[in-house]
Each structure stands twice: as structure tokens, then as C-alpha cells.
């Protein structure tokens, strides 16, 4: 995106002021040069033009068309002791719509026949092979005519002319040239063609800001538009042993505009404001429905109504009073905004160095920017203000120093198994004591004057700590061992429901072996926070992030140290005692998961439940024997139907049936006695479990 360009020309403009036509002299924008630039990391820049103007002036700004939308969205113009009349700019109506406004519509790349059809009623002179025709166009029609190649009949356009000798119909394909006899229409055709040519090549637009007033006055124009994101790079110098580290920070700024930045006040904002693009340059036309003219069935007779004069006069007076008050208020606000009554004394001249006053003029009493040597607050954002005027030629870039000096921190080795399994990384724990915000960027680390590696740093507020690593620490070997154990126990029984607790424990052992016999190390171990697990050892980390615990290990030179990180997770399940078999209940006792009163309660529950199961088994046995006898009796009776009643076999069947009936009777009596015992055992078991609560 390109910003404003110098436009070295003098124009004569005409504006309407207070209903009168007043000539204003236009001046190039070097009367209000760019004096202050603020760049943001969201990809926009705030450009401020300050200067002095004389009398009524129009400042013309030549801008890239791509920048017009941003400028229309953000432009602010102010003048001390005068007023801003208006801001005018080149139209950006759609090309097809602008072409349609001419008498000859070239918007859809029309053919000759279509152009002639659009000129119905116009006088024209046609030149054809060997003849000329002149007349008024009646219209264009399609007729079957012989083809010029194979003489077959095809549809051909014919133009119908009203000539002095009558109506002539001429084939369009025979026309070699034509001339519009209407000079005005011919000019519009040329203008439409010129518009098509300019639309392909025109990349610039003009924005004219008109000021009105008397004498020398300070004026400003400011706007926001797209710029490259400014970037930061850092250099960190670590001392040999003791001493402060030193940091140097540079801002990379790129001037991609079409003009040079000469001695501008440059500020770099670390914030990231919301910035969007909206097409304000192109006219917006709404689609409206077409509604038929309503026609009544019968014409209504005219009627004259008596006017309620008193009510009408009252309403008119109230309306005029409200409109007058609104107009006075608007004029009052306009005077306050433009500072019409607070201008400088006649003959006063704007001083180039008076930047703070121009900041106040830009947004009246907006609060301005607190000046600072390197860092400053603007609103709720932090900015770097370059202490010296900046000059950058167009399409050039520059590195500007923003930080230089000592910074707090300590050497540290950082171990994370996912980064480097065998060795920790050499790193630095930086405390931002620079007094300014540190924006994200790369850091080149120098150790003892030699290059040691590269690192990345995220956004770091003042006073915030930040870790970064820049090289593999080959002098330290790392070993990692992970062990997991689980143990379960019954914690309590509530109304017959057991609560079982399973404790999972994971122990990660980090062992570090130093191969450097001269320098001690502090190793920062990063351990991932497992979801749902609780830290048991160490009792608390040295620091933590959203996903990591960090533990410190002091490793003496040439020694070996181990850190055990223990985490636990507890699972709780509920078991209904009545749904478990006695052997399953006794397994909890034998496995050692229960003790004390809970052990006694489970043993008693297993005993009661076992008695119920034994009685149920005996009842089932009686029922099975009864069913077996019933099936056998059915077989015997079926056989008896097919043999002689006086036979020996029949008599034997009768004896067998009698014995079975006796056994059935005895089984029923015994089953009833056992069923009573079963009902009693079930009641005792259910009543015991229902009231069983052991903590």
C-alpha cells in the first residue's frame, strides 16, 4: 500500500461557502508535509501532516487508489482559527454505470449493430463499399440473407435509415465506417472511449481538503492506512561469569510509500488495534422494487377541506422552534470543533518544532501522548518514540535502535524431554527491567563476546519474566525413568453401597550428570501437567504455566543429581453389595482392600448372602425334581392310553404313578419349609444391607 505522494502543481478550485461562489487557490501538499508517523503491529500507520496556511486554501493530496478507502475512513482535518469546508475526491462509480451515463453506452463491448440500435432517431452518415448513405436511424432488424462464402441463407443484421429518398435497408456487414452528425453525441462517444482508456491506466486519485479563514493559521491533516508491520530484533550479550547481561533492540521499519520521509517524528506502537478495510470509495446503489402506478376504478371528485388555522399555526411554530434550536446547536459544535474563535493573532506563524501543540490541535483535547526518552504510554497502548528525527527514502528500509542497556536475568539450563531427550538446552531467564515492552522477535545471543545461538521471545511486559533457549547444553547428560503403580481400597459403605478408591501413582525420575568440572548449573525441568493428576512431590513447583510445571535442580560441577516428580490420580467407583457374590466380596477382604469394621461388615454380608444363595439353590433343586416327575407322569399316561387296562404293564404304570404322587407331595411340603427359610434369610440380608453404613 502506498501513502500520500507530493503533487507539485497549482490548481484553481471553486467551492461554495455560505451560499456564494468563492475562488480558492489550491496548493500542493508540501504546505502540510508529513511531520509525524505512528506505525502499529496490526499493519496500519497513522500519518500526520502539520503546517501553516494563508487565507482560504485547498490542500490537494495525490494518493494511490488502494489507499482511498482507509483515508476516507480515518481522515481528520483541523485548522486553528478557521474552519474546514469539505473534503472532495475523485469519483469511483462503477465503470459500467459511468459508461451508461453517456449517450453511447460502451459498457458491454457492443457490436456495430448494437451501437446503431442504441442510436435510434439520430442522424448518421454511413460509408459502404462504393457508396455513401445519410439519414436518420429507424432501427436494426435481423433478416435472412445469402452468406458471403457459400451463398447459404443466414441471419444478418440490417440497419433501416430514413433518407431524403425514402427508407433504405442496408446490411451492417457492408458498412466500412460511419459518422455521427450530432456533434454533442460524437463528443460523448469520444469521452466514453477516453474513460475506458483511463480506467486501465489510472492508479492515482486526488483528495482536496478545503480550509477557510484569514491570515496565517496552523492546520493539520491526518489519516490511517495500510503499512508493513514493523518488526523487532534483539541482541543479548551474556557476561563471562558475573556481571549484568546487556540487551540491544532494533526496530525494522519499511517505507513502501511513494515519497521520502524527511525528518519525521516516528513512533512505534506495540499494541495491536483492530483495523479493517471498508469500500467507502465506490458509490453504493440500492436495488429498489418497481411498483405499478395505482389506478382507481373510478375517478374521485375533488374536495376542499376547511383548514384548522389555529392548530396549523401552532404546529408550524413548534416545528420551526425545534429546527432552529438544532441548527444553533450544530453551528455551536462546529465552531467549538474547528476552533474558529481561538486562532492565533494575525501574522503569527506556525513553528515546525511545536509538535505537542499540533497533537492537541489534531483531536482538540484528546489527551495527546506523554513524551518519553524511549518508551511512552498512549492511551492503553505502549509505544516506542524515536528520540531523533527519522529520514527514510521511499522504497527503502531502516533499522532503528529502540533498546540499549543492561537487563536483569540469569543463566539457566532448560530440560524438556519433548525438545531434547538426552541434553537440556542452554537458556536465559530474562526479567524485563528495560522499562519498555518487548515485542515478539528473534534474539541473537552472544556469550563472552562470541555468537552462541538464536532464540525467540514472545511479547513481554515490563517486569515480566520470560524464558528462552539458544543452544544444546552438551556438558549435561539427562536420563528419564517413568514408573507407575496402582492400589485400591474400600473407603466406606453407605446403605449397602461400597465406595472403592483406586490410587494411581506415577513417578518420573530425572537424573542429570554434569560433565563440566568448572561451572555449576541450575537446571529448570519442564514437566507436563497431566490432566486430572495432582502433584505430590515436590510439594510445589518453582513456577508453572498453563500446561507445565517447572522445577529447579541445582547441579554442582561434575556431580550427579536426581529429581523425582510424583503425581497421583484417584478413581472412585461404587459397588452394590447385593449384586456381588459372596466369593467376590471375600476377595476384597483377602486382597487387603478392606480392614477394621468394613472388613467385619463385608464378611457378615457375605455370610448372609451365602445363606440366601444356598437356600435358593435348594428350592431350585426341588423345583427341578418336581418338573422331572411331571414330565415322566405325562409319558406314562400317554403309554397307558394305548395298552390293555388288564395287562401287567398297565398295573405297573398305575403303581409307579402312585409312588410319584407320594413323592410330589413330600417335595412340595419340603419346598414350602425351605421357601419360608429363604424368605426369612432374604429379609435378614436385605434389612442388613439396607441399614449397612460403615465409615
CA dihedral 168, 169, 172, 175 (to 10 degrees): -30
Spell out a b/e string for 262-289, using b for 16 or more CB atoms within 10 Å of the CB, else e: eebbbbbbbeeeeeeeeeebeeeeeeee
Residue 90: name the closest of 112, 73, 68, 106 by CA.
Answer: 68
Report helix, strand or coil for 209.
Answer: strand
DSSP 395-441: TEEEEEEEEEEEEEEEEEEEE-TTT-SSS-EEEEEEE--SSS-B-SE
Say if residue 46 is exposed, middle or buried (CB neighbours under 10 Å; 0-12, 13-18, 19+): buried
> How big, in percent rounded to 5, are the helix, strand and coil portions of the chain?
25, 40, 30
CA angle 221/227/233 to nearest 5° reads 125
- Contact yes or no for 510/562 (Cβ under 8 A): yes
Q: Are strands 34-40 and 261-269 parallel, antiparallel or unpaired?
A: parallel
DSSP 585-617: HHHHHHTTS--HHHHHHHHHHHHHHHHHHHHHH
Length of the chain: 695
Per-residue pLDDT at 100: 60
Per-residue pLDDT at 242: 67
Distance CA 570, CA 501 (A): 7
Q: Helical H runs in 466-595?
A: 582-590
CA angle 511/516/521 to nearest 5° reads 60
Distance CA 354, CA 338 (A): 19
- Contact yes or no for 622/594 (Cβ under 8 A): no
* DSSP character at residue 5: B
Phi first, then psi, for residue 583 (nearest 5°) are -65, -35
Is the pTM here over 0.75, yes or no?
no
Which of the residues in the chain have pLDDT under 50?
1-28, 201, 295-374
Q: Going along 194-287, which residue ranges are E strands? A: 204-213, 216-226, 231-238, 245-255, 261-269
pLDDT one-digit tens code per residue, 107-156: 667 777 877 877 787 888 888 877 888 888 888 888 877 776 666 788 88
Output 97-100 pairs: Cβ under 8 A, ≥24 positions apart. Answer: 97/283, 97/285, 98/195, 99/192, 99/195, 99/196
DSSP 455-470: EEE--B-TT-EEEEEE
Spell out a b/e string for 186-208, using b for 16 or more CB atoms within 10 Å of the CB, else e: eebbeebeebeeeeeeeeebebb
pLDDT one-digit tens code per residue, 442-501: 999 999 888 999 999 888 888 888 898 999 999 999 999 999 998 888 778 888 888 888
Per-residue pLDDT at 197: 62
269 to each of 230, 251, 258, 276, 443, how far by Cα in Å?
Answer: 9, 11, 23, 17, 20
- Contact yes or no for 33/51 (Cβ under 8 A): yes
Per-residue pLDDT at 150: 65
Per-residue pLDDT at 203: 64
CA dihedral 597, 602, 606, 608 (to 10 degrees): 60
Amino acid at each position: 500500500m502506498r501513502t500520500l505522494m507530493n503533487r507539485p502543481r497549482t490548481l484553481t478550485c471553486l467551492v461554495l461557502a455560505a451560499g456564494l461562489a468563492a475562488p480558492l487557490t489550491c496548493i500542493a501538499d508540501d504546505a502540510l508535509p508529513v511531520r509525524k508517523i505512528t506505525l502499529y503491529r496490526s499493519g496500519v500507520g497513522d500519518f500526520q501532516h502539520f503546517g501553516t496556511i494563508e487565507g482560504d486554501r485547498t490542500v490537494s493530496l495525490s494518493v494511490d487508489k488502494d489507499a482511498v478507502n482507509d483515508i476516507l475512513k480515518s481522515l481528520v482535518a483541523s485548522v486553528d482559527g478557521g474552519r474546514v469546508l469539505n473534503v472532495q475526491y475523485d469519483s469511483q462509480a462503477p465503470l459500467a454505470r459511468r459508461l451508461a451515463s453517456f449517450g453511447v453506452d460502451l459498457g458491454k463491448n457492443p457490436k456495430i449493430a448494437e451501437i446503431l440500435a442504441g442510436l435510434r432517431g439520430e442522424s448518421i452518415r454511413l460509408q459502404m463499399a462504393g457508396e455513401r448513405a445519410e439519414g436518420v436511424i429507424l432501427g436494426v432488424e435481423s433478416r435472412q440473407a445469402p452468406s458471403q462464402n457459400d451463398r447459404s441463407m443466414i441471419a444478418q443484421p440490417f440497419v433501416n435509415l430514413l433518407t431524403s429518398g425514402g427508407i433504405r435497408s442496408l446490411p451492417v456487414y457492408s458498412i466500412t465506417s460511419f459518422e455521427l452528425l450530432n456533434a454533442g453525441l460524437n463528443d460523448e462517444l469520444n469521452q466514453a472511449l477516453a474513460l475506458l482508456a483511463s480506467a486501465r491506466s489510472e492508479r492515482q486519485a486526488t483528495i482536496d481538503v478545503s480550509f477557510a479563514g484569514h491570515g496565517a493559521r496552523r492546520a493539520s491533516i491526518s489519516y490511517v492506512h495500510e503499512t508493513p508491520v514493523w518488526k523487532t530484533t534483539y541482541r543479548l550479550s551474556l557476561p563471562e561469569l558475573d556481571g549484568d547481561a546487556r540487551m540491544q533492540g532494533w526496530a525494522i521499519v519499511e517505507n513502501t510509500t511513494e515519497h521520502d520521509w524527511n525528518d519525521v517524528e516516528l513512533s512505534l506502537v506495540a499494541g495491536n488495534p483492530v483495523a479493517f478495510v471498508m469500500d467507502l470509495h465506490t458509490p453504493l446503489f440500492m436495488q429498489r422494487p418497481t411498483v405499478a402506478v395505482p389506478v382507481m376504478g373510478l375517478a374521485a371528485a375533488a374536495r376542499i377541506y376547511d383548514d384548522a388555522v389555529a392548530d396549523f399555526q401552532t404546529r408550524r411554530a413548534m416545528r420551526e422552534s425545534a429546527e432552529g434550536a438544532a441548527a444553533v446547536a450544530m453551528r455551536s459544535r462546529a465552531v467549538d470543533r474547528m476552533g474558529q474563535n481561538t486562532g492565533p493573532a494575525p501574522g503569527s506563524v506556525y513553528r515546525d518544532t511545536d509538535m505537542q501543540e499540533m497533537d492537541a490541535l489534531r483531536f482538540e483535547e484528546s489527551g495527546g501522548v506523554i513524551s518519553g526518552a524511549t518508551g511512552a504510554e498512549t492511551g492503553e497502548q505502549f509505544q516506542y518514540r524515536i528520540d531523533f528525527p527519522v529520514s527514510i527514502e521511499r522504497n527503502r528500509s531502516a533499522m532503528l535502535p529502540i533498546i540499549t542497556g543492561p537487563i536483569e536475568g540469569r543463566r539457566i539450563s532448560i530440560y524438556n524431554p519433548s525438545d531434547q531427550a538426552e541434553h537440556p538446552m542452554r537458556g536465559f531467564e530474562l526479567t524485563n527491567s528495560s522499562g519498555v515492552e518487548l515485542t515478539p522477535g528473534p534474539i541473537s545471543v552472544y556469550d563472552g563476546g562470541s555468537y552462541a545461538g538464536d532464540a525467540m521471545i514472545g511479547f513481554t511486559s515490563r517486569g515480566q519474566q520470560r524464558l528462552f533457549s539458544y543452544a544444546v547444553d552438551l556438558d549435561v547428560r539427562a536420563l528419564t525413568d517413568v514408573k507407575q503403580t496402582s492400589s485400591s481400597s474400600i473407603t466406606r459403605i453407605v446403605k449397602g453401597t461400597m465406595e472403592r478408591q483406586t490410587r494411581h501413582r506415577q513417578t518420573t525420575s530425572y537424573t542429570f550428570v554434569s560433565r563440566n568440572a568448572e561451572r555449576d548449573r541450575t537446571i529448570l525441568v519442564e514437566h507436563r501437567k497431566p490432566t486430572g493428576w495432582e502433584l505430590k512431590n515436590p510439594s510445589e513447583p518453582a513456577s508453572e504455566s498453563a500446561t507445565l510445571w517447572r522445577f529447579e535442580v541445582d547441579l554442582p560441577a561434575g556431580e550427579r543429581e536426581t529429581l523425582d516428580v510424583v503425581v497421583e490420580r484417584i478413581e472412585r467407583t461404587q459397588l452394590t453389595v447385593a449384586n456381588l457374590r459372596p466369593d467376590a466380596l471375600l476377595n476384597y477382604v483377602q486382597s487387603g482392600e478392606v480392614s477394621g469394621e468394613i472388613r467385619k461388615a463385608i464378611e457378615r454380608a457375605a455370610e448372609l448372602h451365602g445363606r440366601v444363595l444356598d437356600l435358593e439353590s435348594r428350592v431350585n433343586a426341588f423345583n427341578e425334581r418336581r418338573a422331572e416327575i411331571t414330565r415322566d407322569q405325562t409319558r406314562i399316561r400317554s403309554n397307558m392310553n394305548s395298552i390293555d387296562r388288564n395287562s401287567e404293564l398297565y398295573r405297573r404304570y398305575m403303581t409307579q404313578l402312585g409312588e410319584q404322587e407320594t413323592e410330589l407331595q413330600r417335595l412340595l411340603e419340603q419346598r414350602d419349609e425351605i421357601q419360608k427359610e429363604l424368605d426369612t434369610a432374604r429379609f435378614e440380608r436385605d434389612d442388613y444391607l439396607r441399614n449397612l453404613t460403615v465409615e
